[in-house]
Amino acid sequence: QETKKFKLFWNKGYHLESNDGNFKMKFGGIIQQHWSYSSQNEVIDNLFGKPNNGSKFRRIRLYNSGSIFNFISYNLQLEFAEGPTTVKDIHISIHKLPIVGKFTIGYFKEPFGLDQYNSSNDMSFIERASNIDITPGRNNGFMFSNTAFNENATWAIGTFRDTNNFGLTSFGNKYNFTGRITALPISNKEKNKFLHVGLAYSYRTPNESKYSIKSRPEAYLLTSYINTGIINQVDNVQLTGIEVALMLNYFSLQSEYIHSRVNRKDLLENYNFFGYYIELSYFITGEHKNYSKKVGYFKRVSPKSNFNATGKGIGAVEFVTRFSSADYADKSIEGGVLNDITVGINWHLNPVTKFSIDYTSAKLKAVGNSTIFQMKFQVAF
Amino acid sequence: QETKKFKLFWNKGYHLESNDGNFKMKFGGIIQQHWSYSSQNEVIDNLFGKPNNGSKFRRIRLYNSGSIFNFISYNLQLEFAEGPTTVKDIHISIHKLPIVGKFTIGYFKEPFGLDQYNSSNDMSFIERASNIDITPGRNNGFMFSNTAFNENATWAIGTFRDTNNFGLTSFGNKYNFTGRITALPISNKEKNKFLHVGLAYSYRTPNESKYSIKSRPEAYLLTSYINTGIINQVDNVQLTGIEVALMLNYFSLQSEYIHSRVNRKDLLENYNFFGYYIELSYFITGEHKNYSKKVGYFKRVSPKSNFNATGKGIGAVEFVTRFSSADYADKSIEGGVLNDITVGINWHLNPVTKFSIDYTSAKLKAVGNSTIFQMKFQVAF
Amino acid sequence: QETKKFKLFWNKGYHLESNDGNFKMKFGGIIQQHWSYSSQNEVIDNLFGKPNNGSKFRRIRLYNSGSIFNFISYNLQLEFAEGPTTVKDIHISIHKLPIVGKFTIGYFKEPFGLDQYNSSNDMSFIERASNIDITPGRNNGFMFSNTAFNENATWAIGTFRDTNNFGLTSFGNKYNFTGRITALPISNKEKNKFLHVGLAYSYRTPNESKYSIKSRPEAYLLTSYINTGIINQVDNVQLTGIEVALMLNYFSLQSEYIHSRVNRKDLLENYNFFGYYIELSYFITGEHKNYSKKVGYFKRVSPKSNFNATGKGIGAVEFVTRFSSADYADKSIEGGVLNDITVGINWHLNPVTKFSIDYTSAKLKAVGNSTIFQMKFQVAF
């Protein structure tokens, strides 16, 4: 009775699906190659060294995800770009539970922030805004999540422990609690009009009472310009994130504000760090961003016509611009303030191939400037 | 002429099979997450440190196995749970040879013991009995194996060299010889009545003449309570294993005795270490253990009805209990004696998903006790 | 509109292909196990230590390659045989470009040499000739390549930077330029008559101005007998390769000459190192080598009948012999001269399974001899 026939098809990736729909599997890979050419003024060069110019694999991943008996799903994703193989996602979910909807355990992204939740394949820029480093990344934990109000809202809440790139948690690590809610005050699928708002909060107890954040000027090959250094005697850290995204068909605006409140023990002084960005996107070929009401984030863009070297298709062309700011200076912590302006273009040749060019002007406040030219070629399915 | 059409189906995993049956491929993955909460008495805490409580990925694996031209088979299995990727199985077999039946080369489990041979996915408990550490694990080597008497008996004999988790053998390593025979004095498939008996033997020449064994109290997050330490000047080690398993439909009894005889050089004193366990299993939902006559071990359990959150299926529910003992003390070696009693429950939601709870009371003779509560969630296909 | 149906078939490996032919995927693996037994004369033993005798996994690989929208292709290949997982191929190509034909970026073999370009699965011997170490291997870079004259010629030219086994390039590495052209003065597919000639050139600027080459006597478990040591103050290195291959149905002859010119800075002395080999192959079962006009190298051999233990097929049997020489001694560099004579037999059981035996007599000029007996069992699909 266990033998089931499958169909095999392509839909932005390779899919296996049993004819009764109870078993689904997706197998795919990601290759992202970056090129980066930067010039820094002399003060920056002296502080952080000459920039690395050249190319690098940013992400090389294979994944296998699937759904079993229509209520259990899993995802295994491995990263090969950084030397020894690391893990990127290992999680199992149980679906269709009453009230809580979905229960997920394993190693996965904590529910915090919009651009952090968007896949690196589906971001509007070559790198996320600098303030991304304030948000928690992937960690071991478990999470409950669901949609509400006919998928016009989502919520997720979970418990996590700090975990390294191999998926290993040191015992003794403290627990962190993270939750996110999103809502769609405006939702018109026919006209592609959406207004997304979101709020996230995380209460964290750092290991060994130590905390630090640092950020690059939105170029992977550059070093971190801003850095709090290690802050000791931290009792807890409270992160807050606010998200707004407005889609008006082929135009969209997205913005986030992320705040980190570092509460130290006893009467030691507390610190506040924060960052924000605002970005615009415009598809001159008429496509639009693809919003997922199930999770409250953005999915892959589908060009109206795929690029065809010999035929008529040109793919989708998207112009983007972003201003971002990250402020890691407070009281005695002179972590620096970094402001970046980026303009870029994304050429979505087809749903799995994207070529991007970004030009960024980064300004490290009171120190100096750098200009960064980046390209990215991506195959992701 | 080489082009063959395939069918794709699910049968406790994803299968590809050519329509003529000459090519078969299986692709699958394993995710096992463990939770462990232990309390040790003060003496144990002082000796071994406070226990690690929490969750951990115990195994994260991907494998690809297949059969080519109907007489060559292969298996590649990778482990991602322990930091850098390690290998778990890499072997090629040639089948249908006269007399010897199957010839296998590569990195695989030496033919020794019943519970060691059972897949970690198909064990009755969250961890194997402590004496498992006496048995040889996976090593590089080659092996001949076959069935006899109409599949009412199996035999396997091979040569192996000690090999690390990356599949690397240091040259200079000595050869080890390991063999196993099993028989089924009682075999009634209709009534699910089987009596399995087995005998295994291994003659080993340790590297650098050093030998040691150590064992945890059947909880992966605890440290080893018993430990022979390194024994020097070892000429050879002889391992003997005796297996008995009785299946009476939904009831089964399984027991093993494993002995290690350490023969040292010249007139130095020799040592004997041993362990055994006896375990019972009872399916209240009417299923039974699945015996493989081809290899002489247990395969996956198939629930009569799969669990269905919205429907009537409940899966298979199995109660298990085990007593185990491992004695690593002999003459001047004060390695300790560990006795564990475990009661547990396995909920097989469907053939690929299992949730287990085990409660173990471990007694380190003449030292102290600990109690261990463990849970395991497993997706394996 | 993105959903496409696929067919699944076997053709020397597992293939997925969409019914419209626009999407293709191949998934496969390689397991190569080597056995090596050598005896060296006493001088060699004293110089390089006793030889390692025994077995080893030489290559264990998984790969996934594919073609997307019929103009983008990719390949991801991972190596598991050497401890931590390394990468072997990560590249993306854009096809059907005007004039340049194909553009490839990523981590892949530089276009240099014939036997280097042949897959390790498809070589005529267990190891490549010693001079292989003069040729560049896989590196990060980009390349343009195409065929010409109705596929009777090929060319490839690219820029590369020295890259480690994890695919990581240190920034600061210098650029290298490598190109290759091949032609077929004789090309008769019906009669399997081909004359292949090729020329390759590489201009290299070594990192830190250092250069060295060393080579084993064509046995993986032996150490390098010849070694230039590190040459300092190198301004540039120019590599030249000449290839000839003649196929007369089941007979073939193949030869390469590879030269390395090391130009040092200022008035420091320059060095010339070189190597060559000539090899013969003869299929007593009537098969022939499989030449690829698209790339100008050899592909997998297809036996006329596959080996069948119970039936009549015997596979393909190929006798091979090779003389190779590598001269790493010039002026003050006493790197040594190594001459190897090998005779061997390859039994291609079927297109994915090969068993090889090679017997090599290696002579390190003015020092001593060794004799090497090697076997290789390979499953590659």
Which positions in chain C touch A84 (Cβ < 8 Å)?
84-85, 166
Confidence of residue A1 (pLDDT cuts 50, 70, 90): very low
CA B78, B79, B85, B86 dihedral sign is negative
Q: Are strands A368-380 and A4-10 parallel, antiparallel or unpaired?
A: unpaired
pLDDT surpasses 70 at A2: no
CA B257/CA B131 separation, integer angstroms? 9
| A47 membership: H or E segment, kind and range | helix A42-48
Question: Please, are residues C51 and C38 in contact by the beta-carbon 8 Å criterion?
Answer: yes
3-state helix, strand, coil in chain B (%, to 5): 5, 60, 35
Task: Calculate the CA dihedral of residues C149, C153, C159, C163 and round it to 10 degrees.
Answer: 140
- The answer to whether residues C236 and C265 touch, using CB atoms and an 8 Å cutoff, is no
Residue A381 has what DSSP assignment?
-
Task: Give percent of chain B above pLDDT 90.
Answer: 70
Q: Which residue out of A11, A30, A31 would a mutagenesis test of the C interface target, given it has the greatest number of C Cβ atoms within 10 Å?
A: A31
Among residues A96, A92, A97, the alpha carbon closest in space to that of A108 is found at A92
Give the one of A10, A52, A308 whose C-beta lies nearest to C2's C-beta. A10
Report CB contact under 8 Å: C60, B166: no
CA distances from A9 to A13, A28, A337, A378, C8 (A): 8, 13, 49, 22, 11
Could A85 and B80 be called an inter-chain contact, meaning their C-beta atoms sit closer than 8 Å?
yes
Instruction: Render pLDDT for A293-328 as a digit per residue (tens, 0 to 9).
Output: 999 999 999 999 988 766 788 999 999 999 999 999
Identify the residue whose tokens are 């729909």: A21
DSSP letter (8 states) at residue B43: H
Instruction: For chain C, 381 residues long, give each residue's pLDDT as a single digit of tens.
Output: 456 677 778 777 778 888 888 888 888 889 898 989 999 999 999 999 999 888 888 998 988 898 888 888 989 898 888 778 888 998 989 898 888 999 999 999 999 999 999 999 999 999 999 999 999 999 999 999 999 999 999 999 999 998 888 888 877 778 899 999 999 999 999 999 999 999 999 999 998 899 999 999 999 989 999 999 999 999 999 999 999 999 999 999 999 999 999 999 999 999 999 999 999 999 999 999 999 999 999 999 999 998 876 678 899 999 999 999 999 999 999 999 999 999 999 999 988 899 999 999 999 999 999 999 999 999 898
> What are the pLDDT digits (tens) for B309-364?
667 889 999 999 999 999 999 999 999 999 999 999 999 998 889 999 999 999 99
Reported ipTM: the value is 0.79
Give yes or no for A97 touching B (CB within 8 A). yes
Could you say which of B14, B352, B381 has the minimum Cβ distance to residue A16? B14
Cα separation, B320 vs B279, whole angstroms: 7
Q: Which two tokens stand for residue A3?
A: 């033998």
Nearest to C31 among B78, B92, B166 (CB): B92
Distance of alpha carbon C264 from its chain centroid, rounded? 29
Query: Which chains reach chain B with 3 or more Cβ–Cβ distances below 8 angstroms?
Result: A, C
Tally the C-alpha atoms within 13 A of residue C64's C-alpha that lie toward its C-beta.
15
For chain C, give the secondary structure using H, E and C: CCCEEEEEEECCCEEEEECCCCCEEEEEEEEEEEEEEEEECHHHHHHHCCCCCEEEEEEEEEEEEEEECCCEEEEEEEECCCCCCEEEEEEEEEEEECCCEEEEEEEEECCCCCCCCCCCCCCCCCCCCHHHHHCCCEEEEEEEEEEECCCCEEEEEEEEECCCCCCCCCCCCCEEEEEEEEEEEEEECCCCEEEEEEEEEEEECCHHHCECCEECCCCCCCCCCEECCCECCEEEEEEEEEEEEEEECCEEEEEEEEEEEEEECCCCCCEEEEEEEEEEEEECCCCCCEEECCCCEEECCCCCCCCCCCCCCCCEEEEEEEEEEEEEEECCEEEEEEEEEEEEEEEEEECCEEEEEEEEEEEECCCEEEEEEEEEEEEEC
φ and ψ at residue B48, rounded to 5 degrees:
-115, 0
Q: What are phi and psi of B45, to 5 degrees?
A: -55, -45
Give the pair of three-digit tokens for residue A199.
């709020």
Q: Are A262 and A234 in contact (CB under 8 A)?
A: yes
CA of C243 vs chain A CAs: smallest distance (Å)? 32
Do A200 and A243 form a contact (C-beta atoms < 8 A)?
yes
Interface test with C, best of A30, A55, A58, A223 (most C CBs within 10 A): A55
**What confidence tier does B1 reach under pLDDT thresholds 50, 70, 90?**
very low
Query: What is the residue extent of each domain of chain A?
Result: 6-380
Architecture category of domain A6-380 in CATH: Beta Barrel (2.40)
What proportions of chain A, in percent to the nearest 5, are helix, strand and coil? 5, 60, 35
Query: Measured between alpha carbons, how far is B8 from B12 in angstroms, rounded to an integer?
Result: 13
Integer Cα distance of A335 and A229 in angstroms: 7
- Chain A closest-CA separation from residue B141 CA (Å): 27
